[in-house]
Amino acid sequence: MFGSSAAPISAELSTRLDFKNQVWIKAGGRTTKTLACAIGVDRPSFSVGYAYNGFVQDFNAIIPATHNINLVFRAVKDPESPAKRFQFS
């Protein structure tokens, strides 16, 4: 069995918009009736992002929304070629 009532299997549908390959925003939803939105900045050697996940139902009184901060550092061989990046997170 792949899911349980405590941790059900879910699917996510989201979209991400990039602006000049430097700033991005993302929005989406999950089958667990949660919404997600995020914003971030990409640089050749690092990325910084903030994400918010919240419930659409009355679960937010029991389970509060989550806030995430993501930091990604890269050892860059060629900053012009994303395929040649090594990522550490």
The tokens of 33 are what?
Answer: 């009736």
Domain-embedded: residue 6:
no
| Local confidence band at 89 (pLDDT 50, 70, 90 cut-offs) | very low
pLDDT digits (tens, 9 = 90+) for 63-88: 678 899 999 988 866 655 555 545 55
Domain-embedded: residue 2:
no
Region of residue 21 (phi > 0: left; psi between -120 and 50: alpha; otherwise: beta): left
The answer to whether the pTM exceeds 0.85 is: no
In the chain, the N- to C-terminal Cα span, in Å, equals 31
Domain-embedded: residue 61:
yes
Domain-embedded: residue 5:
no
Domain-embedded: residue 70:
yes
Compute the distance between CA of residue 42 and CA of residue 89 in angstroms, rounded to an integer. 14
Domain-embedded: residue 68:
yes
Please give the tally of structural domains in the chain: 1
Within 10 A of 50 (CB to CB), how many other CB atoms are there? 13
